[in-house]
Structure 1
Amino acid sequence: MAHQLSRPAWRCGCGEPWPCAVRRAQLLEDYSDRPLQLHLLMGGYVADALADLDRPGAPDAETLRRQLHEWLPPRTPGGSR
């Protein structure tokens, strides 16, 4: 699959930062009826990213935060979109 994560650089197989626009669209579609699970999934990636911060080629923490969180749909109290 062209849109797989490559660590520790946190790049997509297409060359863009992961998740790239294509992968984000896939994730949003796959989790369209389960937004909380999408947030939890991405939280797991944050934990993985934190483990990579000191590895050569890894982005800095702020870059990873933007890559992994800024594109997520907002969560509202009570779990609805």
Structure 2
Amino acid sequence: MPNGCELHLYETADLGSEDYTDVYEFGPLDPELEQSEANEVLTFSSFEECLKTLETRWSSATSRLTNEFMVQDEYADYLRRGRDA
């Protein structure tokens, strides 16, 4: 995808703890999906279009974006702060 981007949405149960943050092992909520299969894959012609869609669907989501290599660190921070914080 040279001139655009994709957004992959994964929905899973919050199964972690401070000792278990491997979000890649949690698995999908939808029993029809395979372990690493996204619930949705959205394709955009530009990154700006992707950000606009994110803000429309999930207000303030763009302030918490992360990539696949940082998501476990972000999840661990979330757990340390407390799930309800």
TM-score by length of 2: 0.23
Give the greater-gyration-radius structure (CA): 2
Determine which structure has the larger helix proportion and give its number. Answer: 1
